[in-house]
A and B are shown apart, each in its own frame.
Chain A
Amino acid sequence: MAQAAATASALAGPRLISQRQRAWRTFRQNRTAVAGLVLIILIVAVALAAPLLAPADPTAQSIRMRLQAPSWANPLGRDDYGRDILSRVIYGTRVALQVGILSVLLGGAVGTAIGVIAGYFGGRIEAMLMRLVDILLSFPDLITGLLVVAVLGPGLGKLILAIGLTIAPRFARLAHGPTLSVKKRDFVEAARALGVGNGRILRVHILPNVLGELIVLGSLWTASAIRLEASLSFIGLGVPPPTPTWGQMIRDGTIYLTDAPLYAIGPGLALLITVLAFNLVGDGLRDVLDPRSRA
């Protein structure tokens, strides 16, 4: 935690611009991280251009052609409703990214707020908030997600909320530590002595100094959120049909693993590549921000 705080404060100084440039240089030197970034850009492009890329309407059924083998028209074959699997994988990217990014933004915002407020104010507020976080952390992710979905019911928005709430405590825990050390630093003391309000201190002095670590966590958790969405869909708690999602496709495809292997393998690969890309970028960012790994 001490290193993290040091990194963060170093970032906040007047040499911010050159720090950023140096960070980008470090990141660029990490080839796998760059590969991850390129992949993410590609994946986002696929999601945005889905209607142009998909050879067919992902929800158009033609039951009499169900489970047809791959052909030029349907490179991954057709699913059990006779829908084009490739189109569904392409459109599935949209759900994956929406869930991955929005739930992390939501969980990150809520979690960071909790962690920073707890760390800054201390005392009873801290004890209360952080014990709550500890309780939430003691549940495995899938269980928390499952509980929330079970209570809220199905739907894309609710799924994002569920995963966001699952992720929030991790951000709270990570934001809490650095806040504790940053708030004791001279510039915070100085600001307080000058009569700057709590809100402004939190916004201007504390938050920017703890953000670095959180961005790393964010990119790593984007990968996990996508995985979690797939897991929830896999156990039937995901987005309602006919919206294509990878988890749902893998679940349905496993029944036909011997008859139409690409039904499960197609979305499986897409999931693998996406999760890998976000993890690579996350690792790259960690290297940039961790002074110990700096050459």
Chain B
Amino acid sequence: MVFNGLVRYQPGNSAVIEPDLATEIPEPEMTADGKQTWTFQLRQGVMCHPGPQTESYELTADDVVYSLQKSATTERSAYAGEYAGMTFEKVDTYTVRITLDRPLSPTLFLPKVANYSGGFIVCAQAVEAMGDEAFKTHPVGTGPFMFQEYTPQTAIKLVAFDQYFRGAPKLAGVELRFMPDVSSRELGLQAGDLDVAEGLIEAQWVERINASGNLRADVFGVGEVSFLNINITKPPFDNPLVRQAIAYAISRDDHVALFNEPVAEPVYSVVPAQLLPGGLTREEAEERGVLFEQDIEKAKQLLAEAGYPDGFSIDLITSEMPTYRRNYEVLQAELAEIGIQVNLNVVAHATMHEQIRQDVNPIVIYVAWRPNADAFLTRFFHSDSIIMTGKAPDTNFSHYDKIDDLIEQARYETDPDRQEELWKQANEQVLRDVAAYPLLFTNQVYARSTAVDYGHELVSSLALYPQITELTTINR
């Protein structure tokens, strides 16, 4: 709401990328020395919000280069790794050229300059005047709403920016309140104190909200994938038969039923085929022999073959958050069926995140969205990302290291079709080795007053919440 990118995910449909600050999406060009360049023409007359120490001014190539360079600097940005091997230069006031040492397909390049995480374009003069720290709690951008006030753990207030380049917003402002409890959010909606609120990721909740006359619950993407990561180095899970037994013990349908369709959907690879190129559909998983439908007898037999006819016992921790705890508790019951006793301890969400990164759980259930197959595969299954011991420890909980080549080959494949096939092969390999087992995909659930019109159809939002744009209205 506060920032723009060079390109943006279409409001309400993140599958479509369209120009934002740029006038159009450029075609990449190759240079003689094998590098790739992308040249963006900027819109003219885009105004920056007035900052605490700066006046409103026109955004130019200087701001764009400054922002992307900021994102590429490790000390100033958490996303610096995404921008390695990229250089940014100003061609003229309204032209920016980005040079990539290694060419990328549009699927992988455009998200880096879209209105998400590192792609946000900030107003350079405001950042320079305020410093990075102060800027974090007082952002200055070019979006339809400008920052007004932040009360920690309470609320953020934004007001309309009338000089927004797509036209003045129809709403006077937006107030975002932090309310962790879903029942109080629901009461707030019913009382009319709130116009939009995050709901419960559960079909029953959606039905109930829709049954009340003045409220609507929207179910939309992008959702998060819940999947098992099994540590392939830790006995007894280093034995592939044990991992296969676990896969056959699980009922994917039961995990989906925990949240119910349409809020939850089954997935057949860690990369969800519903939303991203490179994922496996049910048919594809079956064809490639990596579907693993529940078969308790087969699971018991595999476990006996592996030398554990009486099963064994393991300790796992789970977050108290329902999306995690429920999956763990169902897994606990499923594994009990084949003789694996799971002692489950419930801990605070932050504690779980800290502990699983220190290899506490031999089986980690993780709930995540990543913007593309490369990010999913690299962060969860590339050997560099192995927790604790990897070169750049991230979220490779399974200690998996068998698809590094495929991931890298796919990353630098500029033909989208071939790239997609490589990703599918990588997914297939992960499943064949049962380093992971995809459980389900959960969509986002937000409820709104029927008076709210987002100004676009809500299919998917990368921000995980409905976008409030200059076109959003409330008609009471």
Contact = CB atoms under 8 A, between A and B. Distances in A.
A255 B185 CA distance: 12
Nearest to B348: A236
A154 B333 contact: no
Contacts of B325: 241
B379 to A, nearest CB: 29
A242 B326 contact: no
A61 B330 contact: yes
Interface residues of A, number: 22
Given A64-B254, A64-B257, A254-B183, A240 B343 contact: yes
A236 B346 contact: yes
A66 interface: yes
B332 interface: yes
Contacts of A240: 343-346
Contact of A242 (B200, B257, B329): B329
Contacts, number: 55
B353 interface: no
Given A64-B254, A241-B344, A59 B333 contact: yes
B257 A66 contact: yes
Contacts of B333: 59-61, 81, 242
B258 interface: yes
Contact of A241 (B182, B255, B258, B329): B329
Contacts of B200: 255
B333 to A, nearest CB: 5
A1 B188 CA distance: 52
Nearest to A257: B183
Identify whether the interface residues of B are mostly helix, strand, loop, or mixed: helix
A109 B444 CA distance: 53
Nearest to A67: B204
A155 B347 CA distance: 12
A153 interface: yes
Contact of B208 (A80, A154, A242, A259): A259
Contact of B183 (A61, A64, A81, A255): A255
B413 interface: no
A236 B326 contact: no
A242 B330 contact: no
Interface string A52-67: 0000000111011011
A109 B457 CA distance: 66
Contacts of B254: 61, 63-64
A71 interface: no
B320 interface: yes
A258 interface: yes
Interface in B91-119: none
Interface in A191-243: 236, 240-242
Interface in B314-329: 320, 322, 325-326, 329
9 contacts: A60-B333, A80-B258, A154-B345, A154-B347, A236-B346, A236-B348, A241-B329, A242-B333, A242-B344
| Leading 10 A-B pairs by shortest Cβ distance | A63-B254, A236-B320, A63-B257, A61-B333, A64-B257, A240-B345, A154-B345, A241-B329, A241-B344, A259-B204
